[in-house]
Amino acid sequence: MRNDGVIAAIATAWGESAIAVMRLSGAGAVEITDKFFRSKKGKAISSLPARYMSLGVIRDQSGSTVDEVLAVRFEEGRCYTGEESVEIHCHGGVTAAQRCLELFLSGGARLAQPGEFTKRAFLSGRIDLAQAEAVASVIRSKSDASLMSAERSLQGELSSRVRRLMDSLTAFRAELEVRLDYPEEIDGEGNSEISLGLEKISLDALELAQRCRVGLILAGGVKAAILGRPNVGKSALLNALTGEQRAIVTKIPGTTRDTVTGATVWRGLSIDLIDTAGIRETEDEIESIGIARSIEAMNGSDIRLVVADSSAGITTSEMEIISKIIEKGSQDAAESALIVMNKCDLPQRADENQSDRSARIRRINTSALTGFGIADLKDAIFEMALGNARAEEGYAATERMASAIAETASLIGEAKTAARGGAGVDVVGSLLAEASVALSEVLGADATEELLDAIFSKFCVGK
């Protein structure tokens, strides 16, 4: 896993902008820059102090000016990648930076692969894998809370929690080893001591797994489909939830033909909403395609909002939709569905049949017209996604990290149960050894080249 050569890339987004930054990293970055850059006083970057911006120009081989730029060099060990590196701040837009980049490539640098700067930061030991992945989460975060959780992971909060857990596991395993050497001392009492000792480690692991799960949900947000028969106010609800006039609302049943999307952020959770065509029997070709899309949206969502007109109560139409959700979903419908009793500003009517499946599903009263209950509905969506967790607790984690930590927690749990059930120290020890392996994957100490490639290829070029 050696770093080969000087890599270069434009680190800022493409398009019109005030400045565009090109980065170079690797031993020899300064030497390449010396070929093209001179400060206003005619100095090469190698003779200018490190970490100071210098105004100058970039000239090509024929001596013509490519751009007036600000340049800064960093010494090995004192920058993002941990390698000798240079940043060139060109004028914005695409052309100046692109020409600089081409020039530096002709001067001996090679184009960086996606995520290669961050990969080098990891390989030089400046950051661990959890922090490297947090960099990507910072870039992609969709809400303040997901940004904050990414920053917490990037600052190493998650990494140090993982290390502490690893330390307690290692210490505990060492203690077990000692016991293995003196098997005559292991009796029922010894075992209960072991399971007690594991209790704290297990709680720690579970809490960590939960916080990563929160971070993971915050990063991805949730997708909620708004379903129901025509005219119950689905589109009006989409508009009320997003605070925008996204979908057409009329008193004519069958107004929405296609799916309409919108988004909102609530308590740090980003919620993607899909308003759908009202579900009913119809001969209309366009409407039936729309209804097929409603069913698709229902199946592809994390949360299903079944909207009913509370002035009509729950009718067979709502019951049919609930049945569809229950048929399709592997999990209990009650966990992925909410019944939204809309139009609660109108006189209410009792349900046609009370003792039905819908009784298990939580209900929220709303009025898209007056705004009543809209905040409650958002709270309910938040609770379905995150339970009673708070967004501030999240650690940005990738699917990979979260599942490694969850695996660790479950192995420690198994070890605890085994000890309590009177299993031998060797059984408990080998479960804990597996837990250590799962946990070590989070920080990437033994990461293979393939794993690193898979992780860093998801980054953008220039990061």
Ligand X SMILES: Nc1nc2c(ncn2[C@@H]2O[C@H](COP(=O)(O)OP(=O)(O)OP(=O)(O)O)[C@@H](O)[C@H]2O)c(=O)[nH]1
Q: In terms of CB distance, is 250 or 448 closer to ligand X?
A: 250
| Cα 458 from Cα 460, distance rounded (Å) | 7
- For 404, the token pair is 């490694």
Q: Closer CB to ligand X, residue 118 or residue 367?
A: 367
374 binds ligand X (CB under 6 A): no
Number of residues that bind Mg ion (CB under 5 A): 4
Contacts 24+ apart (CB under 8 A), 368-371: 368/233, 368/236, 368/237, 368/239, 368/240, 368/342, 368/343, 369/233, 369/236, 369/343, 369/345, 370/345, 371/240
Which part of the chain contacts Mg ion (CB under 5 A), choosing from 67-75, 230-238, 310-318, 451-459?
A: 230-238
- If one asks whether residue 235 binds ligand X (CB under 6 A), the answer comes out as yes
Instruction: Please select the residue that binds ligand X; options are 112, 232, 260, 298, rule is CB under 6 A.
Output: 232
Using the rule CB under 5 A, which residue among 33, 159, 235, 342 binds Mg ion?
Answer: 235
Task: Please say which residue, 202 or 231, places its beta carbon nearer to ligand X.
Answer: 231
Q: How far apart are CA 336 and CA 308, in angstroms?
A: 17
**Contact stretch for Mg ion (CB under 5 A) within 12-20, 129-137, 234-242, 363-371:** 234-242
The nearer residue to Mg ion, 109 or 297, going by C-beta atoms, is: 297
Tell me the closest approach of the beta carbon of residue 322 to ligand X, in angstroms. Answer: 16
Q: Among 131, 191, 256, 270, which residue interacts with ligand X (rule: CB under 6 A)? A: 256
C-beta of 393: minimal distance to Mg ion in Å? 37
Distance CA 345, CA 228 (A): 19
Instruction: Sort strands 65-74 and 85-91 into parallel, antiparallel or unpaired.
Output: antiparallel
Which of 45, 96, 236, 435 touches ligand X (CB under 6 A)?
Answer: 236
Which residue number, 243 or 253, has a Cβ lying nearer to ligand X?
Answer: 253
Asked if 310 touches ligand X (CB under 6 A), the answer is no
Q: Select the span of 17-25, 168-176, 324-332, 339-347 touching ligand X (CB under 6 A).
A: 339-347
* C-beta of 236 vs 409, nearer to ligand X: 236
Sole binder of ligand X in the list 53, 171, 346, 454 (CB under 6 A) = 346
231 belongs to the binding site for Mg ion (CB under 5 A): no
Contacts of 266 (CB under 8 A, 6+ apart): 378, 379, 381, 382
253 binds ligand X (CB under 6 A): yes
Structure tokens at 247: 């979908």
Minimum distance, C-beta of residue 373 to ligand X, in the bound complex (Å)? 9
Binding at 345: pick from Mg ion, ligand X, none (beta carbon under 5-8 Å per type) = ligand X
Among 137, 141, 256, 366, binds Mg ion (CB under 5 A): 256
149 binding Mg ion? (CB under 5 A): no
| Binding string, residues 181-220; x marks residues near Mg ion by CB under 5 A | ----------------------------------------
For Mg ion, which is the closer residue by CB, 211 or 234? 234
Nearer to ligand X, 237 or 397 (CB): 237
Cα-Cα-Cα-Cα torsion 355, 358, 359, 360, nearest 10 degrees, comes to 130
Q: Measured from the CB atom, is 246 or 267 closer to ligand X?
A: 246
- Residue 276 interacts with Mg ion (CB under 5 A): yes or no: no
Nearer to Mg ion, 273 or 402 (CB): 273
146 or 235: whose CB is closer to ligand X? 235
Minimum distance from CB of 337 to ligand X (Å)?
Answer: 17
Tell the smallest beta-carbon distance from residue 213 to ligand X (Å): 33
> Which residues in the 272-291 window bind ligand X by CB under 6 A?
277-278
Dmax over CA atoms of the chain, in Å, equals: 87
- The minimum distance between CB 381 and ligand X, in angstroms, equals 18
Contact footprint for ligand X (CB under 6 A): 228, 230-236, 249-251, 253-256, 277-278, 342-343, 345-346, 367-369
What are the residues binding Mg ion (CB under 5 A)?
234-235, 255-256
